[in-house]
Amino acid sequence: MNLIFLGTRGEIEARTRRHRMHTSLVVSYRTAEVTIDCGLDWLGERKRVAPSAIVLTHAHPDHAWGLKPGAPCPVHAPDKTWQELQHYPINDRHVIKERTPIKICGLTFEAFPVEHSILSPAVGYRVTAGRARIFYAPDLIFIHDRNAALQGVQLYIGDGATLTRTFIRRRGKALIGHSAVRAQLTWCQKEGVPRAIITHCGSEIVSGDERGISARLRAMAAERGIEVRIAYDGMKLIL
């Protein structure tokens, strides 16, 4: 399995050379390439990538609005996401059912609901190809059925909106927002995931001293017996 982090910036104003484009990940295996998410930054930029398919985590602007003019390939998304994107001129639509593994271009995707937004319900994806297995969730407060989602996962790719401070708000009985990286590293420790990569970077990372922040994160991860690094636009990884 090959990974390319096309974009690593969250829904923020700040941007740098390392974090310029909205969060998007290419997962490839053999001859197939699947792109996860296509945010507003990718309008007019999609010729830079030619995926076999696109998979969406949810319908927020920084994850789906790059598809406003349509899509050059099949698009897969949960039904709740399609309800929000019903007016987009996407002809080749496929519904992903939660907790039901599905083959997309030789890769197996399983969608796990995550808490993040009331209006735009989100999922994280457990992705398997050959012996490689990752879990990808760029926006979340927590994973429903976390044990099943992370079982046997070699790499967790998570939400970098906030490092340690609380970024969770309550709307009635529901929670919205983002879990801190520190909490996500603890999940990895508890579920036996040995490595983590942080994407969907917020202002704390994008506008801050990234070297210093990386050192802090590595210390947090070392306390939990795992490895961590911050993704940047264009970063490549082979599993």
Q: Can you give the pLDDT at residue 46? A: 65
Residue 27: band (very low, low, confident or very high) from pLDDT cuts 50, 70, 90: very high
Per-residue pLDDT tens for 202-228? 999 999 999 999 999 999 999 999 999
Residues 193 and 108: their CA atoms lie apart, in Å, by 19
Residues 76 and 82: their CA atoms lie apart, in Å, by 9
Q: Which of 53, 1, 44 has the alpha carbon at shortest distance from 21?
A: 44
Query: Percentage of the chain surpassing pLDDT 90?
Result: 87
Q: Can you give the pLDDT at residue 50? A: 76
Residue 91: band (very low, low, confident or very high) from pLDDT cuts 50, 70, 90: very high
Q: Can you give the pLDDT at residue 173? A: 80
Q: Can you give the pLDDT at residue 218? A: 96
In the predicted model, what is the mean pLDDT of residues 190-200? 98
In the predicted model, what is the mean pLDDT of residues 191-207? 97
Per-residue pLDDT tens for 33-77? 999 999 999 987 766 777 999 999 999 999 999 999 999 899 999
C-alpha angle with apex 48: 105 to 237, nearest 5 degrees? 60
Per-residue pLDDT tens for 128-175? 999 999 999 999 999 999 999 999 999 999 999 999 888 888 888 888
Residue 32: band (very low, low, confident or very high) from pLDDT cuts 50, 70, 90: confident
